[in-house]
Amino acid sequence: MTSSKKENVPVNEPLLSKEAAANVAQAMESRWLSSQGPFVKQFEEDYAKRFGVKYAVTTTSGTSALHLALAALNVGKEDEVIVPAFTMAAVWLAVMYTGAKPVFVDCTPDTYNIDPTQIESKISSRTKAIIVVHIYGHSADMDPILAIAKKNKLKIVEDAAEAHGGEYKGQLCGTMGDIGTFSFMANKIITTGEGGMTITNNEEYADRLRRYKDFCYSPQKRFIHTDVGYNYRMGNLQAAVGCGELANLSKYIEIKEKMAEKYAGLLGNIAGLRLPITLSGVKNVYWMYAILIDDQKFGMNKDALRATLKERGIDTRDFFYPPEEQPFLIDRNLVTEKFPQTDYASKHGLYLPSGLAISDEQIERVAEEIRDIAKK
Ligand SMILES: Cc1ncc(COP(=O)(O)O)c(C=O)c1O
């Protein structure tokens, strides 16, 4: 079929709740816009409750949440932090902001998450922490990672930017390590436009998260600063949106699960496509519906498929690129090896339109176009 006259299918279209809109109207009415506004406290309280943790501290982004988490764990110049090779670069950057060195570990071929079997060989006397990222909504294999951290006395930051509400053996992503971080950027499962959150059960970390996000003001005297702090304060309008969206998280996860089920039903028997794999014990929240293309079996490589879909009005995205292709890492001699699984995923993977506002008709259209391309 040709679809030149049909509407484009964007890769991500957010769904915003009426609760969020009502909260924003209320915040505007109250004229509270700053981080002192009441929705900020409410968002933190609601978030802590929803995730079953003692403390939640808002930030300006997922990246600042990661930086803040590392600052709270006292990661600094002489330290090394183990990071996934397959991830969004914000993870590596946050480590670099602290002056510490990111040490990369390749991913597993099934879920693209950090490969626990490769972590221990990367631990040195300088290693202070591991950042685990739950990629595309599928939890990393936490049991072996937690065991390695315990054995080697390392802290764990769990980056759940792509996995709000995802679970591993009944535990929510973000709650298994020392500090969990989230992004609320526009394409995330919960959005505030831009924004982030850190969560923890540790009172000392919570205190440090709060102080470092607010310039490390001395509790005794404002404008006296006890350390080099940051301004990572979320404003009241963002928090107003966040409260409304958080109330809809369970509904949003259901939408994602239905989307994945529908894609799987429609794409399941196309040769050369590998659909997302969900391991046993994991609740996958399918932040993005990520597929791998086998060039030979599909008859076309990933780039050609993306380009053909684009011509037909369907927007997709590449997977992340490996560290060995990143100039900012190469220029600083931070990457000295290759990561074959990350490289393979990067060269063969793409993700399909997966936003919360996607309709059944749009999913059917995407699948029909792929089927038609496969036939030809
Ligand atoms: C895994 C991961 N960590 C961190 C971030 C950074 O979040 P933000 O864009 O809110 O800074 C993103 C994406 O944006 C991400 O996918």
Tens of pLDDT, residues 61-75: 999 999 999 999 999
Q: What is the pLDDT of residues 25-57, one digit of tens each?
A: 999 999 999 999 999 999 999 999 999 999 999
Give the distance (Å) from ligand 1 centre to CA of residue 1: 37
Q: What is the mean pLDDT of residues 166-173?
A: 98
The reported pLDDT for the residue numbered 5 is 57
Closest CA to 352 of 298, 292, 291: 291
Give the closest residue (by CA) to ligand 1 atom 5. Answer: 62
Enumerate residues 6+ apart whose C-beta is below 8 A from 90.
62, 63, 66, 161, 183
Contact criterion met (CB below 8 Å) for 191 and 152: no
Cα–Cα distance list, 373 to 2, 10, 308, 370 (Å) = 10, 19, 8, 5
Residue 104 has pLDDT above 60, yes or no: yes
Q: Is 101 a catalytic residue?
A: no
Give the closest residue (by CA) to ligand 1 atom 8. Answer: 62
Three-state secondary structure call for residue 317: strand
Enter the tokens of residue 170: 């009944």
CATH 3.50.50.60 fits 249-375, yes or no: no
Question: Which of 70, 88, 134, 342 to mutate for ligand 1's pocket (most ligand atoms within 8 Å of CB)?
Answer: 88
Residue 242 has pLDDT above 60, yes or no: yes
Alpha carbons 351 and 25: distance in angstroms, whole number: 35
Q: What is the DSSP string of 11-55?
A: S------HHHHHHHHHHHHHT--STTSHHHHHHHHHHHHHHT-SE
Residue 4 has pLDDT above 70, yes or no: no
Q: What is the mean pLDDT of residues 168-181?
A: 98
Closest CA to 37 of 212, 234, 214: 234
The reported pLDDT for the residue numbered 6 is 75
Contact criterion met (CB below 8 Å) for 185 and 170: no
Q: Tell me which H or E stretch contains 84.
A: strand 80-84
Where, residue-wise, is CATH 3.90.1150.10 in the chain?
249-375
Residue 224 has pLDDT above 70, yes or no: yes
Locate the ligand 1 atom nearest the alpha carbon of residue 135 and give its number: 1
Q: What class is the 18-246 domain?
A: alpha beta
The reported pLDDT for the residue numbered 249 is 98
Alpha carbons 286 and 136: distance in angstroms, whole number: 6
Pocket lined around ligand 1, Cβ cut-off 6 Å: 61-63, 87-88, 90-91, 133, 159, 161-162, 183, 185, 196
Contact criterion met (CB below 8 Å) for 156 and 177: yes
Count CB neighbours of 266 within 10 A: 16
- In the chain, the percentage of residues whose pLDDT exceeds 90 is 97
Q: What is the mean pLDDT of residues 368-375?
A: 95
Q: What is the pLDDT of residues 265-310, one digit of tens each?
A: 999 999 999 999 999 999 999 999 999 999 999 999 999 999 999 9
Three-state secondary structure call for residue 321: coil
> Three-state SS across 251-278?
HHHHHHHHHHHHHHHHHCCCCCEECCCC
Q: Residue 366 carries which side chain, given as an amino acid letter?
A: V
Angle of helix 90-97 relative to helix 62-72, nearest 10 degrees, comes to 40
Residue 2 has pLDDT above 70, yes or no: no
Locate the ligand 1 atom nearest the alpha carbon of residue 94 and give its number: 4
Contact criterion met (CB below 8 Å) for 244 and 26: no
Alpha carbons 68 and 62: distance in angstroms, whole number: 10
For residues 19-44, one letter each, b for 16 or more C-beta atoms within 10 angstroms of the residue's C-beta and e for the rest, the string is bbeebbeebeeeebeebebebbebbb
Closest CA to 161 of 91, 246, 236: 91
Question: Which of 111, 114, 185 to mutate for ligand 1's pocket (most ligand atoms within 8 Å of CB)?
Answer: 185
Q: What is the DSSP string of 156-173?
A: EEEE-TT-TT-EETTEET
Give the closest residue (by CA) to ligand 1 atom 16. Answer: 88
pLDDT interval class at 3 (50, 70, 90):
very low
- In the chain, the percentage of residues whose pLDDT exceeds 70 is 99
The reported pLDDT for the residue numbered 320 is 97
296 by Cβ neighbours in 10 Å (0-12 / 13-18 / 19+) ranks as: exposed
Closest CA to 213 of 40, 49, 67: 67
Locate the ligand 1 atom nearest the alpha carbon of residue 66 and give its number: 4
Alpha carbons 295 and 133: distance in angstroms, whole number: 28
Locate the ligand 1 atom nearest the alpha carbon of residue 87 and give its number: 1
Contact criterion met (CB below 8 Å) for 63 and 40: no
Q: What is the DSSP letter of 120?
A: G
Residue 106 has pLDDT above 80, yes or no: yes
Residue 213 has pLDDT above 70, yes or no: yes
Residue in 155, 188, 213, 256 annotated catalytic? 188
Enter the tokens of residue 102: 């990111």
Where, residue-wise, is CATH 3.40.640.10 in the chain?
18-246
Q: What is the pLDDT of residues 336-371, one digit of tens each?
A: 999 999 999 999 999 999 999 999 999 999 999 999
